[in-house]
Amino acid sequence: MKRVEGKIALVTGAANGLGRATAAVLAREGALVLLTDIDDAGGEAAAEGIRAAGGKARYCHHDASSPDDWASVLARLDEAHGRLDILVNNAGGGTYNDIETVSLEQWRRIMAINLDATFIGTQSAIRWMKNTGGGNIINVSSVAAFSAAPNLAAYCAAKAGINMLSKSAAVYCGQKGYNIRINVVHPGLIETRSGVEMARLATGAARDEDAIAMFTALHPIGRIGQPDDIANGILYLASDESRFVTASSLIIDGGFTAV
């Protein structure tokens, strides 16, 4: 039996990396998935790959930091399906700036694409899901919410904000009786294009292989993560297997934060 059979899912930032892997896993397990991103070529390719594998998927251009884009995407979903069962707020990113050098413009941009995007998506989904029987919201944060990186001031702040925003919203929905669960996933370093780029910037390594080796040494499990490591955790939270789980933080980091 497929674990999210017949569910309608929306995954933001789905053109590459964790979002792409998550969309593929949800589709494989029976969901109809709407992939959104600002990378149209990557998003269309990801959706086509899912369809080629026998899954159900569509792509839609979507700047997750834009309230207007959220309204448009959700209106399309409402017209086509009348409900949203699973929302994965995955879109995000950051730049390497310490507290002395980060500009206000950079700070606001990092907040917009991480914390603001998650806030808008979570709020919009709650307002809809409460009238259609409920649903699951999974917000993607980072181990940077717990482990302070000296050159990631804005990113750490945004990811920590996602954590507490999600918990507050989950408690609110529970007390209101909305049948909406909200949880947070905190990935460690994952072998994606952006993940390896961040590792190189953090370590100053000249080659990807050197950066990966340096970060591997920080993980007790003996390797860095793969996108499916995170996607499978999201699948668990999106499925009925986690029906007693809300306001929780699922850390998937190979032991990085335990050291």
d(CA 129, CA 124): 9
DSSP 145: G
- Please tell me the predicted confidence (pLDDT) of residue 215: 86
How high is the pLDDT of residue 77?
96
List, for residues 168-201, the tens digit of each pLDDT value: 999 999 999 999 999 999 999 999 888 888 777 7
**Can you give the pLDDT at residue 203?**
77
The predicted-structure confidence for 69-120, as pLDDT tens digits, reads as follows: 999 999 999 999 999 999 999 999 988 889 999 999 999 999 999 999 999 9
Examine the pLDDT at 1 and tell me if it is beyond 80.
no
pLDDT confidence of residue 165: 98
- In 3D, which of 232, 248, 250, 238 has the Cα closest to residue 85? 238
Provide the angle, in degrees to the nearest 10, between the axes of the packed helices 193-203 and 208-216: 80
Domain boundaries defined on the chain: 8-190+226-258
Q: What is the mean pLDDT of the chain?
A: 95
3-state percent breakdown (helix, strand, coil) of the chain, nearest 5: 50, 15, 35
56 forms beta bridges with 32
Mean pLDDT across 46-72: 98
- Residue 67 banded pLDDT, cuts 50, 70, 90: very high
Indicate whether 202 pLDDT > 80: no
Architecture of domain 8-190+226-258: 3-Layer(aba) Sandwich (3.40)
> In this predicted structure, what is the pLDDT of residue 253?
97
> H/E element holding 59?
strand 56-61
- Burial tier of 213 (Cβ tally within 10 Å: 0-12, 13-18, 19+): middle
Alpha-carbon gap, residue 85 to 206, rounded angstroms: 44
19 band by pLDDT with thresholds 50, 70 and 90: very high
Burial zone of 41 (CB within 10 Å; 0-12 exposed, 13-18 middle, 19+ buried): exposed
List residues with catalytic annotation: 155
pLDDT value at position 206?
82
